[in-house]
Chains A and B, each alone.
Chain A
Amino acid sequence: MSSTSVSEFMLVVIVLALGIALFAITETILVPEYSFAAALQDSKTIASVTSVTVGPPIQSGNNLVYLAYIYSPEYKGNFSVVIFCVPQTQLQSLALLTPSIQGNPTVFLIGQSDTPAKQTTLNNVYDLNSRQLTGTITGFAVPANTPFQFAVAPPSGDAVVMWVIYTVGSYNFRVAYTFEG
C-alpha cells in the first residue's frame, strides 16, 4: 500500500471517527438538551394559557368530592392530574410541596361515573424552572376543557393539592397547581 493510500485511508478513518463522535455527542447531549429546552418552552407556553378551577368540596361518606376544570383554550389533548394531601401548615410553601400522602384519590370524568380516569405513570416531573420535583409518581389522564371530579379522603387538618402535568415527548412538566382546604 502506498503512503498516499495510507494517508487517505487514515483521513477517512479520522473523519469517520469524528463523525461517530459528533453523532454520539449529538444524540447524547445536544438532542436531549434541545428536546428538554423545547419541551420546557412549550410547557411554559401551555402554562401561560392554562388555568385551573376547583369547586367547593362536597362531603360524600368519608370522601370530599371536588369538581375541577382545566381551561386551556388552544390545547385539545390530555393533561395528567396528581392529587395529594399536605398539612395545612405547610401551604405557605405550596410551590415546593411534593406528593407524600396521596389520600387514595379517585378521578372520574363527568358522565362516565362507572369508569375512573386512566391512571398514568409519570417519570421525573419538572417545574417550569427546570427543577425536578419528583421521581416516578402516578397521575390520572383528564382532557383539557372538560370538567372532571375527584374524590379524596384527606387526613384531618390536611389540604388537598392538585398538580396539572403536561407531558411533551418523554418529559413531564407541572404547568399548574392549586389547593383546597
Chain B
Amino acid sequence: MARNPLNKGQAIVILGLVLLLMIFITIIPLLLTVGLNPVYSKQSTLSYSQLLSQKNLQLLEIEEGNPEITVSTQGDAVYLNFNYFGQITPITIDHILYYSNGQWKPAYPSNITVSGDTTLSLYVPPGYQGFIDIVTDLGNSLYLPVSTAGGLTTCANIYNVSSGEVYLGTQLLPVGTIIITPQPNQLPNLVHGIDATLPKGTIIIKNGNESILSAPQELNTTNGVVIQKCFTSGWYPISNFLTGYQSDNDYTGTVISPNSPNNPSLQSQTLVQWFIASDNPGNLEPIVIHVTNNPQPPSNNVNYLSNTPPEGGYIVWSGDAGLIVGSGLIVVNGSNAGNLGNGPGGTPHGPGGPQPSNTYYLAFTVQLKNGSWETIVDPKPIGQGQESPLTLAVGSYDEGSGTMSLYINDTLVSTVKLGSLQVNNTLSAFMDAGSASNSTSTSTTTGYLNGIEGNVNTAGSQQYSFNGILGPTIIYDVSLPGSEIQEIYQGKIPSSQDVVVLWSQNMVLQIGGAYKVPNLADPGLFDGYWGLGAGIPTDFSPFSDIIIWGGGAPVILNPNILLNSNQQINITIESQGLLTPIVPGYYKFVVNFSDPINTGPGGTPPGPGGTPGYVPEYVTVYINGEKIYEGTNENHGSINTFNYYLSQPVNITTYFTFTLASHQQNPEIYFNLMWMPPGSTSFEPIPLSSLTPFFE
C-alpha cells in the first residue's frame, strides 16, 4: 500500500500542535505564577543599605541635638520643641501621638518637615503629662516624656525695662531701668503695648540714679517691653544668705544610713552647682590633670584621660562624677605620685608645684568603670581676682552615647563623645559638696575618690577641696539637654521628676550636734550633713550684695543697688503654685523669720564685718484664696504655726515682704515655710515634689 504523504504531513502537524500545546501547558502556569508574584526581588539591596544608614544617621543626629527634641509645657498647653545646636538637618515627622485612657491618639493633625528651630503646639488634653511618641519618615520612633517643672512660680515686685522705648510720662526710661512698685501685682508679669499707671511711691532706678514717684504717673510701653523679675521653680526658704562659706576644709556630705545609700549610684547624670570661687588667702588649688594620653594644652572639646582623679576644688561630687573649680588649669603627663598639686613638704603652692593664679577655671570629670578618669575643661577663665563672679556650673554625662558636656551659666563650653561607657558606681563613695576627699594618699595610690562622710570630725584635703561660696546643688539622674540647662539658668527646675538631690544651701536643720542639709527633692534620702572638723554652717551673705535665694537661680541679684538706696524699699516676693499633700490629713505648718532664734546655727553675722540688721519681715499665706496666716518678725512670741487639712492639691500663695532702710547695712532676710505631715513629729521642709508652679 502506498503511503499517503498528506496523511503523514497531517500527523506531523498534529504532533507539532500537540507539542506546542504541551509547551504552553507547562509554560503558561509558570508564566502566570511569575507574572502574578510581586517584584520586590528587583529592589536594590544597596538602596536599602543606604536607607538603613540614613535611618541610623538620623537617630545619631537627634542624639547629638540636631535637632534636640523636647516636650515642654506652658500652663496647660504642651509643646513639641525642635532646637538645633549644630548643622541643620531637616527632619520629617510622619506621626506625633499621645496616650490617654488606654489609647494612643494623634497629637498633631499632619506630618511635618522641620528645618529650623520649631515649636509645635500639640493637640493634647490640657495639662497632659504622659509620653509623646514621634515617628520619623525613616522609621525612627522616639518616646519623649513631658518635662514638668517643680517648685513655685516666684516673682518680686521688681521690673526691668527689657527692650524698646518705654516712657514714664515724657521721660524715656532706657533699657535696664529698674522699677520697684510699692505693692506686688501692680503691673502684669510682662508689660507691652499698654499704658499702665505706676502708683505713688514707685522707685525708679535709672542709670544708677534713683527717684521716687510723689504721684501716680503713666508708663507708656507702646514700643517697649517691661518684664517682672520672676522665675518658675521657687522653693522655701527664701533668704539673702547661704549657710556657709565653704573654706577649703569645710564640706557637706552624706552619711552612712540604713535608709539611704552613700551616693545616688548614677550612670547618666547632670550635676548643677551655683558658686562663687575665692582664692583668698590662697587656699584654692589649681585644677591639675595627670593625663596618660599625650598631654595637650587645655582646650575645649578634648577628653583628658587619667588614672587618678583630677585635683582641684570639687564643688560637687556625686560619687561617680564631679564639677571642679580651680585657681589655675594645668594638664601634665604622668601620674601624680609626686603630689604635683602641692609643693615640697606638702605646703600648698610651694616651690615646685603648680601655682595658683587667682584666675578661676572649671572642669567636669567622671570615673569610668575601669577606674580611669575622663575630664573635660573650659580653657577660658570664669574670672579672676579675689572672687569669681556668681556662676552656674553644669556637667552632664549620658551613658548611652558616652557624651560628657560642661556648661558655664547657660552656655555649652565643652563636649566630647566617648562612646557608650559606664561610669564607676562605687557604692561606698559619699556624695559631697565642697570637697571630695580628706586624703591625698588614698586617691593618688588607688585612683579613687571616696568622698567624705558628713557629720564626722575631719577636714577636706586641700588637693580636692573648694574654697568659696556654694549656692544650690542639684543632681539629676538623667543627662539633661542643653535647652533644659538654659531653663535652669532662668530659674526653672525642668524635668523635676528626675531630680535626685536638691540641697538648697540656704537651710540647715540643727539636730543635736549635727547640721543637716535636707534634700528638698526627697527628704530623708541623700540628706547632707556638714563636716564637724572645721567650720560650721553660718548665715553668710556674700559680698554685701542683695542676692535672694529661694529657687534654682537667684530671685533677685542686685549688686549694691538696693543697699545703696536713699529710700526705704519694700520688696515683696510672691510664691504661687499647687501644694500637693503626701498623704491626706491634717498638716501643721510653721513660718520662720530671720529672728535670731530661728536662723541657722553658728550665729556669725551675715555679711562681712558687720552686725546683722534684722529687717522687718511680713508674711501672708493664702490657701485656695483664703488667708490662713499673717505674721511678722516684729511681733516676737506670736504663734507662727497654723493647721490645714489637705486631701488634694491646693493653691498656695505666700507673700513675703521685707523692708530695707535707707542705706541698709548687713540685712538678714529669711522666710521659711515648713510642714509637719500626718504621723510626723517634727517640722520638715516641703519637698519639691509637692510643689507645682502655675506657669512654666
Indicate, yes or no, whether A interacts with B.
yes
User: B588 on the interface (CB 8 Å rule)?
Assistant: no
The interface residues of chain B lying within 8 Å CB-to-CB of A149 are 103-104
Given contacts A35-B37, A110-B95, A110-B106, contact A67 B133 (CB under 8 A): yes
| A19:B143 contact, CB within 8 angstroms | no
User: A49 on the interface (CB 8 Å rule)?
Assistant: yes
Mask of B10-25 contacts with A, CB within 8 angstroms, 1/0: 0100110011011001
The interface residues of chain A lying within 8 Å CB-to-CB of B1 are 2
User: A65 on the interface (CB 8 Å rule)?
Assistant: yes
Size bracket, chain A contacts: 35 or more
The interface residues of chain B lying within 8 Å CB-to-CB of A19 are 18, 21-22, 25
In the bound complex, CA of A23 to CA of B29 (Å): 9
Mask of B83-108 contacts with A, CB within 8 angstroms, 1/0: 00000000000110101011111100
| B30:A26 contact, CB within 8 angstroms | yes
| A11:B45 contact, CB within 8 angstroms | no
| B43:A45 contact, CB within 8 angstroms | yes
In the bound complex, CA of A23 to CA of B26 (Å): 6
| B37:A42 contact, CB within 8 angstroms | yes
Given contacts A39-B37, A63-B102, A147-B97, contact A31 B25 (CB under 8 A): no
In the bound complex, CA of A146 to CA of B111 (Å): 12
| B38:A168 contact, CB within 8 angstroms | yes
User: B34 on the interface (CB 8 Å rule)?
Assistant: yes
The interface residues of chain B lying within 8 Å CB-to-CB of A177 are none
| A42:B38 contact, CB within 8 angstroms | yes
| A69:B25 contact, CB within 8 angstroms | no
Given contacts A23-B25, A38-B33, A51-B139, contact A58 B43 (CB under 8 A): no
| A35:B33 contact, CB within 8 angstroms | yes
The interface residues of chain A lying within 8 Å CB-to-CB of B14 are 8, 12
User: A73 on the interface (CB 8 Å rule)?
Assistant: yes
Query: Which residue of chain B has the shortest Cβ distance to A45 in the bound complex?
Result: B40
In the bound complex, CA of A53 to CA of B133 (Å): 12
Q: How far is the CB of A114 from chain B (nearest CB, A)?
A: 10
Chain B residues 304 to 338 lying within 8 A of chain A, measured CB to CB, are: none
User: A117 on the interface (CB 8 Å rule)?
Assistant: no
The interface residues of chain A lying within 8 Å CB-to-CB of B40 are 42, 45-46, 74-75
Query: Which residue of chain B has the shortest Cβ distance to A3 in the bound complex?
Result: B1
Q: How far is the CB of B622 from chain A (nearest CB, A)?
A: 37
| B141:A69 contact, CB within 8 angstroms | yes
| B43:A8 contact, CB within 8 angstroms | no
| B18:A61 contact, CB within 8 angstroms | no
In the bound complex, CA of A11 to CA of B14 (Å): 10
In the bound complex, CA of A4 to CA of B5 (Å): 11
In the bound complex, CA of A41 to CA of B39 (Å): 10
The interface residues of chain A lying within 8 Å CB-to-CB of B130 are 58
18 contacts between A and B (CB under 8 A): A8-B7, A8-B8, A12-B15, A19-B18, A19-B25, A30-B30, A34-B34, A42-B37, A58-B131, A63-B102, A67-B97, A67-B104, A73-B139, A108-B103, A110-B105, A146-B95, A147-B97, A147-B133
Q: Interface residues, chain B, CB within 8 Å of chain A?
A: 1, 3-4, 7-8, 11, 14-15, 18-19, 21-22, 25-26, 29-30, 33-34, 36-38, 40-41, 43, 45, 48, 51, 94-95, 97, 99, 101-106, 130-131, 133, 135, 138-139, 141, 143
Q: How far is the CB of A71 from chain B (nearest CB, A)?
A: 3
Q: How far is the CB of B650 from chain A (nearest CB, A)?
A: 28
The interface residues of chain B lying within 8 Å CB-to-CB of A65 are 99, 102-104
Q: How far is the CB of B134 from chain A (nearest CB, A)?
A: 10
Mask of A6-41 contacts with B, CB within 8 angstroms, 1/0: 001001100110110011001100110011001101
The interface residues of chain B lying within 8 Å CB-to-CB of A67 are 97, 99, 104, 133, 141
Query: Which residue of chain A has the shortest Cβ distance to B3 in the bound complex?
Result: A4
| B30:A111 contact, CB within 8 angstroms | no
Q: How far is the CB of A162 from chain B (nearest CB, A)?
A: 14
In the bound complex, CA of A71 to CA of B55 (Å): 11
Partner of A42, one of B7, B8, B41: B41
In the bound complex, CA of A71 to CA of B3 (Å): 73
Partner of B133, one of A4, A55, A151: A55
User: A113 on the interface (CB 8 Å rule)?
Assistant: yes
| A31:B22 contact, CB within 8 angstroms | no
Q: How far is the CB of A37 from chain B (nearest CB, A)?
A: 10
In the bound complex, CA of A84 to CA of B46 (Å): 34
In the bound complex, CA of A56 to CA of B132 (Å): 12
The interface residues of chain A lying within 8 Å CB-to-CB of B36 are 169
Query: Which residue of chain B has the shortest Cβ distance to A31 in the bound complex?
Result: B29
In the bound complex, CA of A73 to CA of B41 (Å): 14
Given contacts A55-B141, A73-B139, contact A15 B4 (CB under 8 A): no
The interface residues of chain A lying within 8 Å CB-to-CB of B15 are 11-12, 15
Q: How far is the CB of B125 from chain A (nearest CB, A)?
A: 15
| B41:A49 contact, CB within 8 angstroms | no
The interface residues of chain B lying within 8 Å CB-to-CB of A69 are 135, 139, 141
The interface residues of chain A lying within 8 Å CB-to-CB of B8 are 4, 8
User: A156 on the interface (CB 8 Å rule)?
Assistant: no
Q: How far is the CB of B6 from chain A (nearest CB, A)?
A: 12
The interface residues of chain A lying within 8 Å CB-to-CB of B29 are 26-27, 30-31
The interface residues of chain B lying within 8 Å CB-to-CB of A74 are 40, 43
Query: Which residue of chain B has the shortest Cβ distance to A18 in the bound complex?
Result: B22
In the bound complex, CA of A19 to CA of B20 (Å): 10
Mask of A150-168 contacts with B, CB within 8 angstroms, 1/0: 0100000000000000001
In the bound complex, CA of A42 to CA of B104 (Å): 32
The interface residues of chain A lying within 8 Å CB-to-CB of B43 are 45, 49, 74
Which of B11, B21, B99, B102 has the most A CB atoms < 10 Å from its CB? B102
Q: How far is the CB of B13 from chain A (nearest CB, A)?
A: 11
| A55:B143 contact, CB within 8 angstroms | yes
Q: How far is the CB of B513 from chain A (nearest CB, A)?
A: 47
Given contacts A8-B7, A113-B103, A169-B36, contact A45 B41 (CB under 8 A): yes
Partner of A41, one of B41, B95, B101, B106: B41
Given contacts A19-B25, A67-B97, A147-B95, contact A38 B37 (CB under 8 A): yes
